[in-house]
Amino acid sequence: MNYMKWMNQVRLGVSSSLATFSLLWCMGCSKPGVTPLQSNDSTLTFREVVENPHNALRFNKTELAGRLIFTGYCQVCHGPDGDGTGFNAFNLQNSFGVHPANFTDSAMMAALPEETMIMAISRGGKAVGKSQYMPPWGGTLSSGEVENVVAYIKALSKTKGVEESPKQE
């Protein structure tokens, strides 16, 4: 009977440790001196939502789902903010003369049809007359996921203008 009591205490201790670790992870622990909003990680942390709800809530549910996919597949070239300055953009520019699209450019985005964005993501840049170095994600992402990414990309140009517009008094 003492063995069973001991095992229950061990399970409780392990569960408590995992819960504490999960809580710390969700709260967005970061390096000293670097706030979550200064980091290059474009995923939202619990701390970011609490400290800056306007930033966190500027995207709807579909756009946030697209943001998660964008973070995993697109930001390497297009950058964490979608401005075409991902860490691989330098290599594309210097080696091939290609610059990833800047999705925060509202004029360019207004002229870009949604069907073209869907085709570029699904079939790759070459399918829409753009860079052959943009891979096709249609075999990796479902059509719903592609639509979520398009919604997020479209939101980037809209929110960029909102953030930079001067306050009217």
pLDDT one-digit tens code per residue, 60-114:
889 999 999 999 999 999 999 999 999 999 999 888 999 999 999 999 999 999 9
pLDDT one-digit tens code per residue, 45-66:
666 666 655 455 678 889 999 9
Prediction pTM value: 0.62
Give pLDDT, residue 2.
Answer: 74
Give pLDDT, residue 163.
Answer: 41
Q: 46-164 in CATH: which number?
A: 1.10.760.10
Q: What are the residue boundaries of the structural domains of the chain, listed by start? A: 1-30, 46-164
pLDDT one-digit tens code per residue, 117-140:
999 999 999 999 999 999 999 999
Give pLDDT, residue 36.
Answer: 42
Give pLDDT, residue 161.
Answer: 43
pLDDT one-digit tens code per residue, 30-39:
444 444 444 4
Residue 53 amino acid letter: P
Return the closest-CA partner of residue 76 out of 65, 96, 90. 90
Give pLDDT, residue 33.
Answer: 47
Give pLDDT, residue 169.
Answer: 40
Q: Rounded mean pLDDT of 161-169?
A: 42
